[in-house]
Structure 1
């Protein structure tokens, strides 16, 4: 009888962990305050004329990273003012560490000046990304007085 309770406990714990991970996947969160300068590969990826650059932090053997690329590349191609860059940090973990990235894929949105606008952990949903970046992609002009 104890064996049945152990199996049931493991199933409940596994289900709870799976539901928690699913709920957190693709979640858009507020930008972090910069603690220091941007790592050189990230700073090099930013273009002055592009309002928002999505920097996807990936690793070589990350399957969700491929899904993230499949969402963000077409999104950037069809959205004016949006650019997507993927950085593989497999051989440069210091880049992920400097950005405070703990898992891949993580996508960070940056302004041309290097200000972090938001971050997305896991595979994002295209519509949610556009909604979160709307004010940066389509700034409202100030009213004339």
Structure 2
């Protein structure tokens, strides 16, 4: 085989691996970044230590968008841009979830017009969805377009906390 064929095969393998990674991770809600008054424990029987209170993500959003308000149970904050096709799908999905789940509110933030907020909250790509609890603390986030059942499951985990 010629070197050109090996290079093409290598590029194909890399592209397939990256595509598989993106398909597996896009739209998935990842761990709680919530660090409020709860305690953290290592191994069973280990001492627990109080965790310092985290800044509320909603404080930053409310500063940038003063007309918006928190949901009674949870708030879905979506960061999007004008030319982002998955952002339109995400807006529809989050809007539907906010309609069917009581106490949940959907807030859309234009990342291009609110760059300081985008940087402050560590938003690296659009769409990114933050799930905030009733007090405005970030519970989880998803980069990419989540499916409706993923959003409902993330809200269900919020109720378990």
TM-score, normalised to structure 1, is 0.83
User: What pairs with 1:55-134 in structure 2 (closer than 5 Å)?
Assistant: 55-134=77-156
Structure 2 counterpart of 1:29: 30
For the aligned residue pairs, the C-alpha RMSD in angstroms reads 2.3
Contact 1:43 1:114 survives alignment (8 Å)? no
Q: Is residue 64–residue 114 contact of structure 2 (8 Å, CA) maintained in 1? A: no
CA distance in 2, matches of 1:42, 1:112: 17
Deviation, 1:111, is 2.2
Task: Show CA shifts across 1:70-96 (max 9, x none).
Answer: 211111111111111111011221111
CA pair 115-5 structure 1, distance change in 2 beyond 3 A: same
> Who is 1:14 aligned against?
15
Residue 30 of structure 1 deviates from its aligned partner by 1.9
Distance in 2 separating the partners of 1:24 and 1:42: 29
> Which is further off, 33-42 or 61-70?
33-42
Distance 2:103 2:56 in 1: 26
Going from structure 1 to structure 2, the CA distance change for 1:110 and 1:89 (only over 3 Å counts) comes to same
Could you tell me whether the CA contact under 8 Å between 2:68 and 2:107 is conserved in 1? yes
| Structure 1: segments with no counterpart, 5+ residues | 141-145
Indicate yes or no: 2:64 matched with 1:41. Answer: yes
Structure 2: stretches of 5+ with no match in the other structure: 35-53
